[in-house]
Amino acid sequence: MKKIIRSLFSENMCIDLSQGKIENGTPIIIWENHGSNNQKWVYTEDGIIVSALNNEMCLDIQGGIIQNGTKIILWKKHGGDNQKWTITQDGFIVNRLNTNMCLDIQGGNINNGTPIILWERHGGDNQKWKMQRQSS
């Protein structure tokens, strides 16, 4: 089921594909919710978050580098752990390579186009998310 991944830091903002591009390396950003499929995602049973525009493309940790500040990008699904995520009950989306690392709005900057990065969990709302069904 297609869902948006809404920020709990600012509920009108959600995870978005930069310029709606479906290609390896497309930056994952935060953008005001507009309901298009470039803001919709499917969380699979194996923990991969795939794009509603193309189920062969998913959220990926750039280069598989598990450190603060690594960009989250779109990449062709290969099933590596750098593409597998767990959504915790308290709203974090953590990577399976290191469950202390999660999706983060870079610098807590809640403006359109701010990159989504990997960052150590600190509990801030810029790291908390809610997958939510949206009609349209």
**Cα-based angle 107, 11, 51 (whole degrees, multiple of 5):** 80
**What pLDDT score does 42 carry?**
97
Give the separation between CA 111 and CA 63, rounded to whole angstroms.
Answer: 26
**What pLDDT score does 11 carry?**
86
- DSSP annotation of 134 reads -
What is the mean pLDDT, run by run of 10 residues, along the chain of 136 residues?
94 95 97 95 97 97 97 97 96 96 97 98 96 75
**What pLDDT score does 76 carry?**
98
pTM of the predicted structure, to 2 decimals: 0.95
**CATH no. for residue 113?**
2.80.10.50
Do 130 and 40 meet the contact criterion of CB atoms below 8 Å apart? Answer: no
Domain extent, residue 39, equals 3-133
Count structural domains, the chain. 1
